[in-house]
Amino acid sequence: MQFSLSSSPHNRVRRDTASVMRAVCYACIPGIMAQVWFFGWGVMIQLMLAIATALITEAGIMKLRRRNAKRILSDYSAVLTALLLAVSIPPLAPWWLIVIGTFFSIAIVKQLYGGLGFNMFNPAMGGYVMLLISFPLAMSMWLPVQSMALYPYNLTDALSVIFTGFSVSGYDITQLRLGIDGVTQATPLDAVRSSLLLGETYSEALQAPIFTSESGLSHGWAWVALAYLVGGLFLLWRKFISWHMPISMLAGVILTSGFLNMIMPDASGGVLFHLFSGAVLFGAFFIVTDPVSGSTTPKGRIIFGALIGFWTVIIRTFGGYPDAVAFAVLLMNIAVPLIDYYTQPRTYGARS
Amino acid sequence: MIDVKELTWQGLWKNNPALVQLLGLCPLLAVTSSAINGLGLGLATLFVLMGSNITVSAVRHYVPNEIRIPIFVIVIAAFVTIIQLLMQAFTFELYLALGIFIPLIVTNCAIIGRAEAFAAKNELFPSAYDGFIMGAGFALVLVLLGGIREILGSGTLFSGAELLLGAWAVDLKITIFVPDNPFLLAILPPGAFIGMGLLIALKNILDPRLEAKFAPKPEKIVERARVTAES
């Protein structure tokens, strides 16, 4: 009897890139549904625009590079990038915003570095940061939760606002942003940030109507974050992503925000507020787990994730922008070669 | 003995200080937020480069080899001071707009590079021409990059031309479109890096094509016709 001998690993999961990318897209579905439920149909239109732009851009560049466009397009990585970018921008942002952003993500951040597998930076976050620093006003036009909006909108309104700037009944984006009390409703992060800048304390900031209670959870936004958490746990359960990066990032956020909140309870947000506002839960499972631009060694992944969490809270608290996941991710993307260099695992049997 | 054609080709394209040697990137990236800013700094650099090349070439036999670099730097600094004072006198607003980057021309490696690599080894007139054409190559890239960033960022071209060229130049300003949301990235420093990278990429695309076009055609190979069959 003959045993076949081969080197490790012996037990492999046979998955190709496309099936992993598709799974991550599917895992976004609960989050997207929650976003549509709370913030209206705009999200879906942005998604369609983003995916169309991403595919056209990728195909165009494949043609320029004389590669097989069909094979590259069918790995779904462009679709995933488009999806991650589309859910990160305000749902009723004008159409050119998502088109420019997706084009930049795919053409500059991903393909100019050599395409999937060679990009140093997370494409979706690269595009997002480009939009954020280029069009700060349009990127801050978030909507109130639709049940609390003065003028809720429907699908045709969404199309009309995105392409012409006005809804069917003639409301523009600033009117659509009004809450039921006639006051423009900010995102939870914006609300806390602006009231801290006005000199109020954190607990006073939590009196804003968008927050449900003193805990720091907010209407709508916390549910969206929770929905992404569900999708992320699915990915974790099916082993599409390893636990290292999401868990260490969340730990980084919890420890940093807990510590800051302990030493200056009036000037920085609490743990729950940081976890369930903005892009932390979404980022922990869908952004930092990007296998290309993240760290590759087990120890390195933990350092990578934890520092993203750390920087997210630090930039949110002391920086100039309300949310900081994208900045933290890009910052740590630069540090990946260094982290990988110092955390190379010891080969079994080799002396350190 | 002066090969004008070769020097021109080297300065404007093949050995362009900005696109190929990548010298003087600091002012290149910092001031090119508009075409006129680029033109102003490009002209200033051109004059300094010409002046320093002429002077260095003229004194090259009297400068001890060991201390040539400090002497070159002093020569360059003298010309930069002249330019700075001239700009302060005649184009004051442009002087304010360019700010610290005028004195910083001293540190522009393209200038000391040409002094060391060309002027210190060549006659006066070739050195003067080399300084002129290298400066022109640098200025062209500055204007090009500034123009691209200005169009993308604020939708205009040659705005502020009157600061450099006098009051009549107000009419040079071309408004291509009026953006509701200016594309800030193009005006911010990252836009300079990305624009510069794209320009270099464009040059790399054009290079082989130009080479194919201008390369000397191989001499016609005449093969002796075979008149007798051996089979």
- The percent of residues in chain A predicted with pLDDT above 90, rounded, is 51
Write b or e for each residue in A155-180: b if 16 or more Cβ atoms lie within 10 A of its Cβ, otherwise e.
Answer: eebbbbbbeeeebeeebebeebbbbe
The CA distances from residue A313 to A23, A150, A268, A280, A347, in Å, are 29, 32, 9, 10, 36
Which residues, numbered 142 to 171 in chain A, qualify as contacts with chain B under a Cβ-Cβ cut-off of 8 Å?
A: none
A108 touches chain B (CB under 8 A): yes
- The confidence score (pLDDT) of residue A1 equals 66
- Residue A228 amino acid letter: Y
Peptide bond before residue A94 is cis, with ω within 30 degrees of 0: no
Domain extents in chain A: 15-184, 186-343
Neighbours of A214 (CB within 10 A): 11
**A235 touches A285 (CB < 8 A):** yes
Q: What is the pLDDT of residue B226?
A: 66
Which residues is A166 bridged to in the sheet? A172
Contact with chain B for residue A137, Cβ under 8 A: yes
A352 pLDDT tier (thresholds 50, 70, 90)? low
Tell me which of B184, B196, B202, B204 to substitute to probe the interface with A (most A C-beta atoms closer than 10 Å): B184
Question: How high is the pLDDT of residue B229?
Answer: 64
- pLDDT value of position A14: 73
Locus of tokens 């054609």: B5
Inform me whether the pLDDT recorded for B54 exceeds 90. yes
* Phi, psi (degrees; rounded to nearest 5) at A184: -60, 130
Q: A-chain residues within 8 Å CB-CB of B193?
A: none
Mutate to test the interface with A, among B177, B184, B185 (most CBs of A within 10 A): B185
Q: Is A166 helix (H, G, I), strand (E, B) or coil?
A: strand
Q: What pLDDT score does B222 carry? A: 67
Answer yes or no: is pLDDT of B108 > 70: yes
Residue B219 has pLDDT above 70, yes or no: no
Amino acid at B106: V
Output the pTM of the full model.
0.86
H or E segment to which residue A282 belongs = helix A280-282
d(CA B29, CA A132): 21
User: Rounded CA gap, A31 and A229, in Å?
Assistant: 8
Residues pairing with A179 in the sheet: A149
Of the listed ranges B125-134, B146-155, B173-182, the least confidently predicted one is B173-182
Reduced DSSP (H G I as helix, E B as strand, rest coil) percent helix, strand, coil of chain A, to 5: 60, 0, 35
For residue A212, report the phi and psi dihedrals to the nearest 5 degrees.
-80, -35
Could you give the CA distance from residue A351 to residue A155 in angstroms, rounded to a whole number? 64
Taken as a whole, chain A contains a residue count of: 352
Average pLDDT on A192-214 reads 84
Name residue A184's beta-bridge partners.
A178
Please report which confidence band the pLDDT of residue B218 belongs to, taking 50, 70 and 90 as the band edges. Answer: low
- Chain A residues with beta carbon closer than 8 angstroms to that of B194: 108
Tokens of A32: 């997207």
Instruction: Flag whether pLDDT at B231 surpasses 60.
Output: no
Q: Would the pLDDT of A28 be above 90?
A: yes
What are the φ/ψ torsions at residue B157 (nearest 5 degrees)? -140, 140
Helices H / strands E in chain A, number of each = 17, 0
Whether B208 shows a pLDDT value over 80: the answer reads yes
- Assign A319 a pLDDT band (cuts: 50, 70, 90): confident
pLDDT at A216 over 80: no
Residue A178: phi and psi, rounded to 5, are -70, 140
Pick from B190, A105, A116: nearest CA to A97: A105
Q: How far is CA B120 from the centre of its chain?
A: 20
Q: Tell me what pLDDT residue A191 has.
A: 85
Q: Cα A127 vs. chain centroid, distance in angstroms?
A: 11
Instruction: Give burial (CB, 10 Å; 0-12/13-18/19+) of A32.
Output: buried
What pLDDT, on the 0 to 100 scale, is given for residue A130?
93
* Ordered DSSP codes for A213-244: STTS-BTTHHHHHHHHHHHHHHHHHTTSS-SH
- Of the candidates B46, B14, B10, B9, the one whose C-alpha atom is nearest the C-alpha of residue B27 is B46
Find chain B residues with C-beta within 8 A of A108's C-beta. Answer: 194
Which run of H or of E encompasses B157? strand B156-157
pLDDT the model gives residue B122: 87
Burial of B174 (0-12, 13-18, 19+ CB in 10 A): middle
At a CB cut-off of 8 Å and minimum separation 6, what does A41 contact? A91, A153, A154, A155, A158
What does A87-112 look like in DSSP terms, one character per residue?
A: TTS-TT--HHHHHHHHHIIIIIIIIT
Question: What is the pLDDT confidence band of residue A97, given thresholds at 50, 70 and 90?
Answer: very high
- pLDDT score at A122: 94
> Between residues A313 and B25, which one has the greater pLDDT?
A313
- pLDDT value, residue A199: 86
Element (H, E) at A80: helix A77-86
Q: Which residue of A has its CA nearest to B179?
A: A135
Domain ranges of chain B: 4-147
Which band of pLDDT confidence, cut at 50, 70 and 90, is reported for residue B217? low
Rounded to the nearest angstrom, the gap between the alpha carbon of residue A31 and the centroid of all alpha carbons in its chain is 11
> Who contacts B117 (Cβ-Cβ below 8 Å, separation ≥6)?
none
The Cα–Cα gap between A304 and A320 comes to 23
Check residue A87 and give its pLDDT. Answer: 94
For residue A184, the 8-state DSSP code is B
- Can you give the pLDDT at residue B96? 87
Band (A323; pLDDT cuts 50, 70, 90): confident
Which of the four pLDDT bands, split at 50, 70 and 90, describes residue B15? Answer: confident
Contact: A134, B194; criterion CB under 8 Å: no
More confidently predicted of B43 and A69: B43
> Could you read off the pLDDT of A73-83 as tens digits, one per residue?
888 999 999 99
Residues A133-157, mean pLDDT to the nearest whole number: 86
Q: Which two tokens stand for residue A263?
A: 């030493």
Chain A interface test: which of B181, B184, B194, B198 (most A C-beta within 10 Å): B181
> What is the rounded average pLDDT of the residues B209-216?
78
Of A42-46, A251-255, A320-324, the least confident: A320-324
Q: Are A122 and A116 in contact (CB under 8 A)?
A: no
Comparison of pLDDT for B139 and A214, the residue scoring more: B139
Segment A23-38 mean pLDDT:
93
| Residues of chain B neighbouring A107 (CB-CB closer than 8 A) | none
Phi-psi sector, A281: left (phi>0), alpha (psi -120 to 50), beta: alpha
User: Is pLDDT of B82 > 90?
Assistant: yes
Judged against a pLDDT cut of 80, whether residue A246 lies above it is answered with: yes
Least Cα distance to B76 among B120, B99, B108 occurs for: B108
- Average pLDDT, whole number, for chain A? 89
Average pLDDT over residues A129-154: 87
Q: Could you give the angle at the alpha carbon of B79 between the alpha carbons of B77 and B81, nearest 5°?
A: 70
d(CA A26, CA B87): 62
Helix (H, G, I), strand (E, B) or coil at A2: coil
Q: What is the pLDDT of residue A7?
A: 75
Residue of B nearest to A94 (CA): B181
Residues of A in contact with B184 (CB under 8 A): 133-136
Residue-level pLDDT at B212: 83
Q: What is the DSSP string of B188-206?
A: SHHHHHHHHHHHHHHHHHH
